[in-house]
Amino acid sequence: MQAAEDYTIIESLFIRHRNALVLRGQFTPIYTDYYLHLMQHGIRHSAELDQMLKDSLAMLALHLVARPWAETIAWTVNLRAPRMNLFVTGGSVDENIAGRIFTEDVREPDRNFFYSQTTATGLPEPRMSTMEVEGKDPVAWISQFYDQSEQRPARAFRLEDENFVLVAAQPDCDMEWFEALDEDAVAKIDTTEEIKVLETRRFRFHCGCTLEKILPIIGGWKDRLDDLFEDSDFIKIQCPRCAAKYKVTRDMIS
């Protein structure tokens, strides 16, 4: 069993008289597991890319709590500069969130594109959306995403001590109040507004990948093992969701 303190707790709050939904959480537990994951698999990112992935994990966790429980959501962002694909995915039922960065063999787009895929019980097919985003700050992307895909205003805030907050407008939201919000006002919202806690959910950084789950990715090479392995006794493959590294030998591919 995973200890409760190893999870980031996300609160969902309703702001009375403002008609706004507030999602907030302190992300040190998720970031701790994320860095342990990087150390375990020998993964290193530049400071800029590292921060972008961490911010994206936080934004997705907050968004998941604004959505129904049964949904699993994956975001992929294809950026021009730095040229990279940023991927994050998670779901409330499994209480897991994971992600990775792709920097090799990445197509250079003429604009920055944000792709969202949602799967859920009862949906015959995944729900897909694509949009263009400006800049390279995942916290700023959220407003653009909500405007275009959720069709309601939302704003995200990065506070001290790895706290993040997402404020989403509900019908009849006090938009003057909403537009005037800043980091200081959001940090003090418990003392300045009448709030009601709707629910809490929890998340940890965990992919759940195993070698057995990864092997089918290269199953198509079983008749071309010499091409795959060349002169090596083993190859290393990465999980497409979290970049975990696995050593594969010839006898593992049947």
Instruction: Say whether both 56 and 151 belong to one domain.
Output: yes
Whichever domain contains 26, its CATH number is: 3.55.30.10
Q: At 123, give phi and psi (nearest 5°).
A: -85, 120
Residue 228 DSSP symbol: H
Under a CB-based contact definition with an 8 Å cutoff, are residues 167 and 178 in contact?
yes
How many structural domains is the chain composed of?
2
Helix, strand or coil, per DSSP, at residue 38: helix
Instruction: Say whether both 127 and 227 belong to one domain.
Output: no
Closest CA to 201 of 66, 15, 56: 66
Instruction: Say whether both 70 and 147 belong to one domain.
Output: yes
Instruction: Say whether both 239 and 161 belong to one domain.
Output: no
- pLDDT of 164-180, one tens digit each? 999 999 999 999 999 99
- Structural domain boundaries, residue 75: 4-205
> Helices 28-41 and 47-65 meet at what angle, rounded to 10?
130
Instruction: Say whether both 129 and 217 belong to one domain.
Output: no
Instruction: Say whether both 115 and 230 belong to one domain.
Output: no
Instruction: Say whether both 54 and 174 belong to one domain.
Output: yes
- pLDDT of 182-229, one tens digit each? 999 999 999 999 999 999 999 999 999 998 888 887 777 777 777 778
Under a CB-based contact definition with an 8 Å cutoff, are residues 151 and 162 in contact?
no
CA distances from 191 to 18, 187, 228 (A): 14, 9, 61
| Spans of the chain, pLDDT less than 70 | 1-4, 254
Under a CB-based contact definition with an 8 Å cutoff, are residues 83 and 28 in contact?
no
pTM for this prediction: 0.93
Instruction: Say whether both 27 and 144 belong to one domain.
Output: yes
Per DSSP, the residues of 131-156 read EE--SS-HHHHHHHHIIIII-S-EEE
Instruction: Say whether both 197 and 238 belong to one domain.
Output: no
Instruction: Say whether both 132 and 219 belong to one domain.
Output: no
